[in-house]
Amino acid sequence: MHLPPPIAALLTVGFIIFLFRRDSREKHDVAGGLWLPLVWMLIICSRQPSEWLNTFGFQSGAVTLEEGSPFDAAIYFTLIAAGGYVLKKRHIQLSEIIRNNQWLTIFFVYCLVAIIWSDFPFVAFKRWIKVLGHPIMALIVLTEPNPAKAVTKLLKRCAFVILPVSILFIKYYPEYGRAFDVWTGAALNTGITLNKNALGGDCLILGFFFFWYLLQTWASERGRARRNELFLVAGFLLMSWWLLSKAHSSTSQVSLLVGMSIVLILGLRMVDKRFIGTYLIIGALVLAAAEWAFGIYANALVLLGKDPTLTDRTVLWHDLLQVEINPIFGAGFESFWLGDRFREFAASRWWAPNQAHNGYLETYLNLGLVGLFLLIALLVATFWKGRRELFRNFEFGRFRLGFLLAVIAYNWTEAAFKNISPIWFVFYLIALDYPQREFAAVEEAEAINTFEAEGELISAADLNSPRTALTGISRFEC
């Protein structure tokens, strides 16, 4: 049945309102500050604020490759400043962040230093400030009393908007949700984003999340709440898969299957969680042997309907490696695809590339071998964090490891270790650690001060009760 577009839009808006109202009636153990990461994620998972204005016929000012949009910059700066205020209110200590995230800190500081040798240092600095929003928003989520619950809330609320609106745009508003290949003229489904690969990336994130969440919901106590949640999760899984099939993003499909497989394998009783690293090394060696003996990579490309050049990606990789840059330090943070280099590649290829379509090569071009080494060290450190999490919070641990392996696979033919990629943001959610004992101590101290000011004395036992814990949560101003 094909509804008139206005009716379909009205039903979609009503469905989204219903989902948020349903979510608000659930037991809350997250603070109001979680709305900031949600706004951040909705923007980077869809379109830039200036692009939304242009979509509906409003002009937001001139936009250039080097300078970007002043309107977008103002929005991002406001969100980052608000996020910093929330972390300040929570008494988050920079020393604790550094102590618990050493490789991430080193990588991030190196990116800042790499601005020095950029041909466009001011542009690179502005891009670094924008990327700074990722760890700020991630810390807001991870300093909640229950980080795993906060991640679940964030991704669910993001899906409430991204998936239904993408379906609405594709089916009923093709002028917003579809595009055409500038070379072949083939129709492309973009949904709430502006290109099919971005839509595929959204579906990778949300499809992986709902698969992981489905396993948790299935194992929960039987009852009406469980049944209703299963219907909700199944519905969003179907939405994710439908959109992924419409996006025709093979990279996202393969990466999603990799992440789901890791989650399932970690759930097997026969798998000893202490030897996850050993299993991965063995798996890598088996794949290398299979590639050497049978050429499974080429056969996989045929099954995916891809040509051997991965839609000219391998040709691009070869040409990029011929460009003269400093191999040790690269062209500078987020600076390779600026100026003459970008114009030369855009003029020589119909698809006007603005990324290497390989996250590791992209890192090398911008940050050199030093940056590539630091990125690999960061990925290894994130793996060990996820492994340790398996013994503290198994479900969140396998979320971290599953998504990490999906990210590693995704960056073979797409570049997501950059700028404001939503995959790069979710990576910060699994890569960052912040000691909950410190956060809990601040919560407890402030709760005691609040109640004493009201003339009430609370024992330590009462302070640790569920009722008091919820009262402490509600004290957040943001």
Q: Which residues in the chain come in under a pLDDT of 70? A: 1, 27-28, 60-65, 182-184, 291, 294-311, 437-478
Asked if 267 and 219 touch (Cβ cutoff 8 Å), the reply is no
Asked if 371 and 382 touch (Cβ cutoff 8 Å), the reply is no
Q: Nearest to residue 410, comparing CAs of 189, 203, 183?
A: 203
Considering the domain boundaries, does residue 419 fall inside one? yes
Asked if 44 and 425 touch (Cβ cutoff 8 Å), the reply is yes
Helix (H) or strand (E) holding 179: strand 178-180
pLDDT of residue 180: 85
pLDDT of residue 307: 65
pLDDT of residue 55: 87
pLDDT of residue 277: 85
pLDDT of residue 13: 97
Considering the domain boundaries, does residue 423 fall inside one? yes
Q: Structural domain of residue 354, as residue ranges?
A: 5-434
Distance CA 366, CA 362 (A): 6
Asked if 211 and 237 touch (Cβ cutoff 8 Å), the reply is yes
Asked if 168 and 9 touch (Cβ cutoff 8 Å), the reply is yes
The number of folded domains in the chain is 1
Considering the domain boundaries, does residue 458 fall inside one? no
Considering the domain boundaries, does residue 173 fall inside one? yes
Residue type, 178: R
pLDDT of residue 472: 40
Helix (H) or strand (E) holding 398: helix 394-410
Number of Cβ atoms within 10 Å of the Cβ of 462 = 12
**Spatial CB neighbours of 259, under 8 Å, sequence gap ≥ 6:** 204, 208, 211, 402, 403, 405, 406
Considering the domain boundaries, does residue 442 fall inside one? no
Distance CA 421, CA 251 (A): 15
The tens digit of pLDDT for each residue in 21-39 reads 999 887 667 778 899 999 9
Residue pointed to by tokens 């650690």 = 433
Residue type, 203: C
pLDDT of residue 297: 62
Distance CA 148, CA 141 (A): 9
Considering the domain boundaries, does residue 36 fall inside one? yes
Asked if 246 and 170 touch (Cβ cutoff 8 Å), the reply is yes
DSSP-assigned states of every residue in 151-213: HHHHHHHHHHHHHHHHHHHHHH-HHHHEEE-TTT--EEE-TTSSSHHHHHHHHHHHHHHHHHH
pLDDT of residue 314: 86
Q: Nearest to residue 201, comparing CAs of 254, 264, 153, 150?
A: 254
Distance CA 190, CA 198 (A): 8
pLDDT of residue 35: 93
Tokens of 346: 């855009």
Asked if 181 and 190 touch (Cβ cutoff 8 Å), the reply is no
Considering the domain boundaries, does residue 151 fall inside one? yes
pLDDT of residue 278: 86
Helical H segments across 305-338, by residue range: 313-321
Considering the domain boundaries, does residue 401 fall inside one? yes
Tokens of 384: 């060990």
**Spatial CB neighbours of 377, under 8 Å, sequence gap ≥ 6:** 103, 106, 107
Tokens of 108: 């991030």
